[in-house]
Structure 1
């Protein structure tokens, strides 16, 4: 044997490195996805990491400090478009049997092709990312849902082929879970979004309750408006719960774990007296590990309790 590395082996090493980097991104920034994906077989787990990495990298472009200020918005838009172009080229290259210089994009493209994610999903996603360059608030909840169609529901659609649903009826619950996850993020990250000049709580609701997030104080009015949003959020989780039974066992465990952990953020916002200004509300790591372990031992119980809202 010559000991030489073949082209195919180098390509595989490059791909494996890309998936490792996607996993690190997920572990660092998407801990709920990380804990849920741990319960999947390795091929699907890597694909969840890759989908998350794509969304994270695009989001980081538009959420970078001062990215949307008047003097930098055009530059940010160009950076986003460059990323979109790089992603498209990576998919075409990997489809042709090659790999691109960036191992992360190679892994993402590999996931897109191997799982059969509809390319139209990415069109909607990138359009929503571009909206963050020019839109800083939403008048009504319907307006906000229109934005989240491309930034949240579509992520549920991206993940669904990876999870290999048992029925086409899983699509709408997957979209509902995407909506629910992002609305939870918006409620948790009010203070951080204010730093970026954005308010994702609908303006009509703020006026209705007389609340002003720019005060960065927990007032009676703020408690009322946030409690109203949390109730809405929980309705989305309820709509998503029907999809758990439409997934294979491993995928059901993954989704049930992520669903429970994300929804607990709402519980912690309430426990913090709706203070989303002083510090970022988090579910502690031991609690995440306990939920994941419980799902492994008794996935049916966790899935059932998730649907009942008792976990």
Structure 2
């Protein structure tokens, strides 16, 4: 049985949960519902005890139940609540279906040849979430959609860099194969967790790419949209802090546990709320 949206969001200990806490109640509830959908979709793919066929079948059924939720007839209360949330905030449906396609990519491949291949994956599993969220946050400028897309890519690239060790343990390499070749760092070296100058140069390159998307998002966001997007800005600061910590550890993600602590997340979230909700209004 699926837990309530709030329970799922809180249990995840995600940066998203802390950023949502300072939203008005109606928006906070909507964000918890959207996040819970994303989390549950991801958990279908991440279930290590299930076979590939079972995961495909569960994902197929999840998509069908999601479609039933538009009329409130899903067997899952979470999806029915999501259907109501989508209607209330007029959230486009395409990002939800694209997210499911992104999860299917995780079942279909565990390597990415080029960054173009990887960027499609990043869009589907992360930018889509941003496109859902901005409809709840509210915005005035259409360019905010591009802000969400670029920020999502930055978030996912940061996750990939932070989780290289964990993903290698699962047999996955998200870093583009063309990048490994560019820095003469082999797949075998990554799987053996070889920390050397080639790896550090590769990581510096990938970190700068993630920073490029953070910077691009910053250039796009409009001043009068910042107050309503304070939760997104809080998440942006938390992920940027993660990227900074990777650099501070000299890119040694094999031996160092890179994380932003609870009080850091809370402090960043409160700071963003104070700045954008009080100063900019």
TM-score by length of 1: 0.82
Which one of the candidate residues 113, 116, 120 is aligned to 2:87?
Answer: 113
Q: For 1:231 and 1:260, locate their aligned partners in 2 and report how far apart those are by CA, in whole Å.
A: 16
- 1:31 aligned residue: 14
RMSD, aligned CA: 2.4
1:62–1:132 CA contact under 8 A, matched in 2:
yes
Q: For 1:153 and 1:182, locate their aligned partners in 2 and report how far apart those are by CA, in whole Å.
A: 8
Q: Does 1:87 align with 2:66?
A: yes
Q: Does 1:261 align with 2:238?
A: yes
Q: 1:259 to 1:227 in 2, by over 3 A?
A: same
Q: For 2:160 and 2:248, locate their aligned partners in 1 and report how far apart those are by CA, in whole Å.
A: 17
Deviating above 6 A after TM superposition, structure 1's stretches of 4 or more consecutive aligned residues are 300-303
- 2:138 aligned residue: 164
Aligned length: 277
Query: Looking at CA atoms only, which structure, 1 or 2, has the larger radius of gyration?
Result: 1
Q: Does 1:223 align with 2:200?
A: yes
1:60-116 deviations in whole A, cap 9, x for unaligned? 11112155xxxx2112111111111111112222xxxxx655332222222222111
- 1:46 aligned residue: 29
- 1:122 aligned residue: 96
Q: For 2:43 and 2:183, locate their aligned partners in 1 and report how far apart those are by CA, in whole Å.
A: 32
2:162–2:258 CA contact under 8 A, matched in 1:
yes
Q: For 1:20 and 1:43, locate their aligned partners in 2 and report how far apart those are by CA, in whole Å.
A: 19
Which one of the candidate residues 34, 37, 58 is aligned to 2:41?
Answer: 58
Q: For 2:49 and 2:257, locate their aligned partners in 1 and report how far apart those are by CA, in whole Å.
A: 20
Q: For 1:92 and 1:279, locate their aligned partners in 2 and report how far apart those are by CA, in whole Å.
A: 47
Q: For 2:261 and 2:6, locate their aligned partners in 1 and report how far apart those are by CA, in whole Å.
A: 20
Shift of 1:244: 4.2
- 1:237 aligned residue: 214
Q: Which deviates further from its counterpart, 104-113 or 138-147? A: 104-113
- 2:266 aligned residue: 289
- 2:54 aligned residue: 75
Q: For 1:81 and 1:101, locate their aligned partners in 2 and report how far apart those are by CA, in whole Å.
A: 14
